[in-house]
Structure 1
Amino acid sequence: MIADPTRRRILDLLAERRTLTVGELAAEFPDLVASGISKHLMTLRAAGLVRSEKLGRNQHYRIDPEGFDRAFGEWAHRYAAYWDASLARLRALAERDPGSM
């Protein structure tokens, strides 16, 4: 589902801009029609990765953080030790006495 480059780009845009309508998303994909973007959004909604809210005449889409956690949390948790070690090294460097360099 997120192997599709259009869906990944939609998720990237939603992460950057927080909320977008189908029309705003379609403007980012000149080779696709709005109905094509809607189909991608339906797939992402079915997977629980985005949610929508009707505001006025438009549906506004945003990332669903809980959905991402359900879909990828367990998988990503396996790699937390790598990030923890890197962040610990970064913290040690940042907290080192500047006079000792």
Structure 2
Amino acid sequence: MASCDKSSKVDVRDLFNALGDNTRRTIMDLLAEHDEMTVKQLSEHFPDLVRSGISKHLMQLRKLNLVYSIKRGREQIYRINPEVVSNVLRPWVKKYEKYWDDTLIRLKQAAESSKRDHDE
């Protein structure tokens, strides 16, 4: 694999700045959905952008090590760097898990209570 783990040098604030851009978030979503894509394949999802525009967004994502590319023939194949997601984003998200876990528990309790009330 062509990735290298530079995630310890990646700042969460820089990641969120990069992901604050809708095009870059969409690129990440597409790569997550398809595992790997070329610039040409990505550009098909952005009819208002030229390929060089997609390449600039990919360059920003590569700079932060969110994605990496491998050369296959004449094409660059882009993939998400799982080490960054795992080592940088996961710990940040983990701090907030308790909030959605509590919400799901309350939703479950409300649904069960409603069902009991309806059955009586």
TM-score normalised per structure 2: 0.66
What SS does the corresponding residue of 1:43 show, helix, strand or coil? Answer: helix
Aligned partners of 1:35 and 1:75: how far apart in 2? 32
Distance in 1 separating the partners of 2:49 and 2:68: 21
1:51 equivalent in alignment to 2:63 = no
Bigger relative contact order, structure 1 or 2 (CA pairs below 8 A, ≥6 apart): 2
The share of aligned pairs that are identical, in percent, is: 50
After TM superposition, what 4+ stretches of structure 1 lie above 6 angstroms from structure 2? none
Query: What's the TM-score, normalizing by structure 1?
Result: 0.78
Counterpart AA for 1:81: K
Structure 1: gaps spanning 5 or more residues: 91-100
Query: Aligned residues, how many?
Result: 91
The residue that corresponds to 2:95 in the other structure is: 78
Paired residue for 2:24?
7
Q: Secondary structure at the match of 1:29?
A: coil
CA distance in 1, matches of 2:96, 2:49: 36
Residue pair 1:2, 1:8 contacting (<8 A) in 2 also: yes
Let me know the Cα RMSD of the aligned residues: 2.0
- Give 1:70 shift: 3.1
TM superposition shift of 1:77 = 1.4
